[in-house]
Amino acid sequence: MSSPPRPDAAPPSHLACTAARRAILDQLQPITGWERVAVRSALGRILAQDVIAPCNVPAHDNSAMDGYAVRAGDLAGEAETGLRVVGSAFAGRPFSGSVVAGQAVRIMTGAAIPTGADVIVEQEICRREGEQVFIRGPLQRGRNLRRAGEDLAEGGVALPAGTRCGPAELGLVASLGIAEVAVRRRLRVAFFSTGDEIASIGRPLAPGEVYDSNRYTLFGALSRLDCELLDMGVIADDPAALEAAFRDAAQAADVIITSGGVSVGEADFIREMMARMGEVAFWKLAIKPGRPMAFGRIGDAVLFGLPGNPVAVLVTFYQFVQDALLTLAGVDPLPPPNLFTVPCTQAIRKRPGRREFLRGRLVRDAEGVRVSVAGAQGSGVLRSMSEADCFIVLAEDCGDVAPGDGVLVQPFDGLI
């Protein structure tokens, strides 16, 4: 497999990746507005208020094991002690009596602890003969007991505002007996592609046209974030049409995302229009792919002008836009980036100056985990994203990589 081409160093005017992320996030505040929804409808939503525990979880002292509920005082010595089994306790069907000296109760996981018992002895270390169980001591008081309120105490914060609800969060809320939660309204995102050469799918291509893949890529990425979407289609390279699209999008959405039209070509209008209708914070980044990316505002809407090349769209979305959308949606704190270092299986050519995001594939074998470059690395080769399972992240000061050198990788699992 050939090495990626050697890029030119980034001009000083290009904003570094870390500085660009900070510039974006520093300007964002979560949207306002919330609603109450049923627990099952809260999947993927952001909590607008703390979820307060109305009861203890667990509600009563209970057993963490299948075994026998006994008194620690009966097992003070090191010799094996025989105890009389006087009943059983099951989850939902507690033992109604008390455990006194010389007695034991057969108990199942989750069952309430019988009065008088202070130790649960796991069944694997017990010897049962008829109505007697033999246990060797001594055993510490409290062994295998789960105390009431051990997971959550009544009145405590079960889930703080800003939490994004996943399956575990739904289960936790349900364990408290809560039927509805307050969630922030969905973030409204308008998106469209630009360019006279962009053709909608479902019809033959005219000479010079390409199919519009970027809107479908963005649709998939945005749908996973549970945004309210306004797909505005393809807008031609016409200033009047673009201005009308921006005006409509700014009135209807919290965020506008475009693809194409932010480079330095004669027909690239997005950056100039952003500056005329609103403000542009930056429009050049020291990264590859994705150098021409604009960030700014039109009215109250945040605007991201992404590059036109398909891979550059994905790189800029996941490195900059996704965390911005989570911040606007009210996620607090942002999930930490999942980055780690592994050896690279091949040589990569690179000059210092820009941060590069190569598509890679992790290899797991007897030698451990390594990474190799996945497919052709051109910014228009979308197939390489499908073949990859991670980004190989080469920092600005990184030079050529030799086989066996450690490189930073960012797995797609949890990111995309």
3-state secondary structure string across 59-123:
CCCEECCCEEEECHHHHCCCCEEEEEEEEEEECCECCCCECCCCEEEEECCCCECCECCCEEEEH
Architecture of domain 340-411: Beta Barrel (2.40)
The mean pLDDT value for 177-199 works out to 94
Q: What stretch of H or E contains 169? A: helix 167-175
At 351, the pLDDT band (50, 70, 90 cuts) reads very high
pLDDT at 1: 35
Q: What stretch of H or E contains 323? A: helix 322-329
pLDDT at 272: 77
At 6, the pLDDT band (50, 70, 90 cuts) reads very low
The pTM assigned to this predicted structure is 0.85
At 236, the pLDDT band (50, 70, 90 cuts) reads confident
pLDDT at 366: 86
Q: What is the residue-wise DSSP string for 24-59?
A: HHTT--PPP-EEEEEGGGGTT-BBSSPEEPSS-BSS
* E strand map for 299-367: 301-306, 340-343, 355-365
pLDDT of 375 higher than 90: no
CB 354 within 8 A of CB 287: yes
> Can you name the residues that pair with 234 across neighbouring β-strands?
193
At 380, the pLDDT band (50, 70, 90 cuts) reads low
At 12, the pLDDT band (50, 70, 90 cuts) reads low
pLDDT of 85 higher than 80: yes
- Which fold is adopted by the domain 17-33+186-329? Molybdenum Cofactor Biosythetic Enzyme; Chain A (3.40.980)
Signed CA dihedral, 324, 325, 328, 334: sign only: negative
pLDDT at 398: 95
**pLDDT tens-digit series, residues 110-165:** 999 999 999 999 999 999 999 999 999 899 999 999 999 998 999 999 999 999 99
Which of the following CATH numbers is that of domain 34-56+163-184: 3.90.105.10, 3.40.50.2000, 3.40.30.10, 3.40.50.20? 3.90.105.10
User: Degrees (nearest 5) of the Cα angle 163, 385, 382?
Assistant: 120
pLDDT at 13: 63
Which CATH code fits 62-146?
Answer: 2.170.190.11
Please state, in angstroms and rounded to a whole number, the distance separating the CA atoms of residues 184 and 8. 44
pLDDT of 2 higher than 60: no
Determine what percent of the chain is predicted with pLDDT higher than 90: 76
Boundaries of every domain in the chain: 17-33+186-329, 34-56+163-184, 62-146, 340-411
Neighbours of 375 (CB within 10 A): 18
Q: What stretch of H or E contains 392? A: strand 390-394
